Chains A and B, each alone.
Chain A
Amino acid sequence: MPISDATREQTDLRHLARVQELTQEIAGAIAAIEQNQLARFQESLLRQEYLCGELAAMRWASNGLKDPRQPGAGGRAATVAEKIQESYVALAQLNRVYAEVVKRSKRATELLLAVYSLAGVQPSLFDNDRTLSCEV
């Protein structure tokens, strides 16, 4: 069944909003990792998964995306399509950073876990129950 221009535009606008939300979530997740805010990171992850699911389901609806470089793609629809593409480029770039941050943090976590979980091997900080912290 053919889709009207108005419906397509609405779908594309919703698509655009979701991509931008996901980009913000990824930026927030990177900041949460950076600041060791585990709860914030977990909440963000849930929203990321939800938004990814939504975007994946929207793929067919957005099949009418026009290439903004092609002639005749001018007007309102071309602008939205262009914005969607720009947002995806920004998302792809940020996702590259996200993947790197997660990869590195995961490795650091695994190393720390390996050290902490080894029987009898604990960081020097924890090796004396009678340690008194003098930090004010």
Chain B
Amino acid sequence: MGTLNAALWIAAHALDVDQGALNVTSNNIANASTPGYSREVVNLTEQTPIQSGNLTFGTGVDLKNVQSVRDQILTILIAQQSTQQSGAQTQLNAMQQVQGLFSDPTSGIGASLTAFFNSINQLSTNPTDTAQRQAVITAAQNLVGSFNQTAQTLSQVQSSLNQSVANSVDQINSLTKQIAKLNAKVGQMQQLGEDPGSFLDQENQLINQLSQLTNITEIKTEHGLTLTTGDGTALVVGNQSFDLSVGNGANGMQDVFAQGQDITSTIHGGSLGGTIQVRDTNIPAILSQLNTLAGDFATSFNAAQAMGFDLNGNQGQPLFTFSAGTEAASISLATTDPDAIAASSDGAPGSNGNIVNLLAVQSQPLASGQTPTDTYANIVSTAGNMASQAQADLTASTASLNQLNDRLGSISGVSINEETANLLVYQNAFTAAARVFTTIDQLTQTLLTMGSGA
């Protein structure tokens, strides 16, 4: 076919191919700002040459197919980092609310504790003065009020997180249904030999949204996509989705179930994982410390009361009462009678001999081994550390996510050799960086200890 006709045919065919390539290009341009859109490329194949005697004539190129550019590994890594980022963000939001309860040194439990012991100290100057005694009762009321308020607010945050679990599960179910439908369309197009690019883009977008809700594992086989939860519970298999449900768990909170199994403890990361982490681990840990403080403090102060006598010469009675298990929420005053403060050590109304025992509660270790002030400082520190950790996780996962997105956005035109070489250099640099941050960690530890211990 090495004739003019053949040349014209090749040229005409090449125009068709160019037209196809232009269509793809314009589609890429039109979707340049579309979130999740994967750039498409045209795959050209050389047409079968024609043999004529000893000569071989080329017959041009053919548009083999249009293919979306995607890097599956990067896409999976991005989904993983999205899970981390979303989980950290949820934890940070919740922990900032919790931290707010403890951050103001002029109010709350810490300030109320100090004010309470100050009022007892004042009473020592004139133990029969009713106004001074009333001031102690008022300070005690403020203190139990602070405990109650803090415990109540913690429970409210926990309850609000609990309510969002059902909402997240609804969103997960809605997304898995959509992904299963898209999966079916992708399968149909692949069977017809067509590029399911736009459907895959939509699917990736939905998977990304899903990974922001919970940790998922993505497996792609020739039979289609399978999505599972962290523990391997199926969410999507091919064109079929499997709903999660919520139900009451052992702790009275809403747990997540898959096919009758409680999978709450296996959910990590994502906003659902972050919610469960703060609801089931962080807040209970802080509440437990708070309960210990309230209970130990009340027990210790009541014991000091019992060592003295009230204004009427009777043996001191408990000032505080509480219910075991909910100490911070339930602590209250056993009496509001100002005469009940057992200031006297011998039953004489003017004695202030037992005030030293009442004040000692402030400076002596409670049953937990620490003074009330130190115990409270630990609670503040725990809440602060949890918030700081969430902040560090959020910053780190955001940086990693940006890095991966940047890499995904720039994969065109990069040769595999260059990419591999770069990765090797990165790997060495990260190893060096690990040495640096270990050194910095040692330096900061040493210097911070030196400053406080000098």
| Chain A interface residues toward B at CB < 8 A | 22, 26, 29-30, 33-36, 38, 41-42, 45, 48-49, 52, 55-56, 59, 62-63, 65-70, 81, 84-85, 88-89, 91-93, 95-106, 108-113, 115-117, 122-126, 128, 130-136
Contacts and interface: CB of A to CB of B under 8 A. Distances in A.
Given A88-B444, A131-B41, A134-B25, 14 more contacts: A29-B433, A30-B399, A38-B426, A48-B436, A49-B432, A49-B435, A49-B436, A85-B448, A92-B445, A103-B396, A103-B434, A106-B430, A130-B44, A134-B24
A37 B71 CA distance: 20
A101 B399 contact: yes
B31 to A, nearest CB: 11
Contacts, number: 201
A99 B46 CA distance: 51
Contact of A97 (B392, B423, B452): B392
Classify the interface of chain B: helix, strand, loop or mixed. Answer: helix
Size bin of chain B's contact surface: 35 or more
Contact of B396 (A91, A101, A110): A101
Contacts of B446: 59
Given A35-B406, A104-B400, A123-B73, A132 B448 contact: no
Contacts of A65: 447, 450-451, 454
B444 A91 contact: yes
Interface in B288-345: none
B173 interface: no
Given A91-B444, A95-B437, A101-B399, A113 B424 contact: yes
Contacts of A88: 443-444, 447-448, 451
B423 to A, nearest CB: 5
B1 interface: no
A34 B352 CA distance: 66
Contacts of A42: 425, 429
Classify the interface of chain A: helix, strand, loop or mixed. Answer: helix
A132 B430 contact: no
Given A102-B433, A113-B424, A125-B411, A132 B403 contact: no
A8 to B, nearest CB: 13
Nearest to B28: A135
Interface string B384-427: 00001000110111011011101100111101100110111111
B103 to A, nearest CB: 16
Contacts of B425: 38, 42
A36 to B, nearest CB: 5
27 contacts: A33-B399, A36-B406, A45-B433, A48-B433, A52-B443, A59-B443, A62-B447, A66-B451, A84-B447, A85-B447, A91-B440, A95-B437, A96-B388, A97-B399, A99-B437, A100-B395, A100-B397, A104-B400, A108-B77, A113-B420, A113-B427, A116-B423, A123-B73, A125-B412, A132-B43, A134-B21, A134-B28
B43 A130 contact: yes
A111 B77 contact: yes
Interface of B: 21, 24-25, 28-29, 39-46, 67, 69-74, 77, 81, 84, 388, 392-393, 395-397, 399-400, 402-404, 406-407, 410-413, 415-416, 419-420, 422-427, 429-437, 439-441, 443-448, 450-454
A62 B410 CA distance: 47
Given A26-B440, A33-B399, A105 B450 contact: no
B30 to A, nearest CB: 11
B399 A36 contact: no
Nearest to B435: A49
Q: Report the 4 A-B pairs with minimum CB-CB distance, sorted nearest first.
A: A100-B396, A92-B444, A106-B430, A134-B25
A98 B433 contact: yes
Nearest to A63: B450
B434 A106 contact: yes
B46 to A, nearest CB: 8
B380 to A, nearest CB: 16
Contact of B452 (A67, A98, A126): A67
A133 B444 CA distance: 50
Contact of B420 (A98, A102, A116, A134): A116
A22 B42 CA distance: 48
A36 B407 contact: yes
Given A96-B392, A123-B73, A41 B450 contact: no
A26 B424 CA distance: 21
Max chain A C-beta neighbours (<10 A), residue from B41, B46, B451: B451
A136 B69 contact: no
A81 B451 contact: yes
